[in-house]
Structure 1
């Protein structure tokens, strides 16, 4: 099972740390992307939580678009 399918089957939100690790991204960049609307998240207190299904859709879209770019 690939990562996108694993995310789609997950029933709990991902923490900022889990999402950082998954995307190999710094906290600053991830938070900047959330504030800019590039990636979806919900706030709980002063933390961001990430819906695994929405993250899976976002990853699938980016993977598809990368394959369409011209070299």
Structure 2
């Protein structure tokens, strides 16, 4: 338990120092790469789902309503 508490205090102190003095990364990262990353991620996601939907042969469990007729569940009484 002592090691966990010591690590937690160390991580908290490190986070406080980082907030106080600023992160080591430049502040213009999002302005430089944000739009490109967003568009790249959207293109990647669209490409992967397009492949999955068209090429993998997965049988999607679409609704059988109106396509399947139920069987009679009891014998007809005479």
Q: TM-score when scaled to structure 1?
A: 0.30
Larger RCO: 1 or 2 (CA < 8 Å, sep 6+): 1
| TM value normalised by structure 2 | 0.28
Structure index of larger Rg: 2
More strand by share: 1
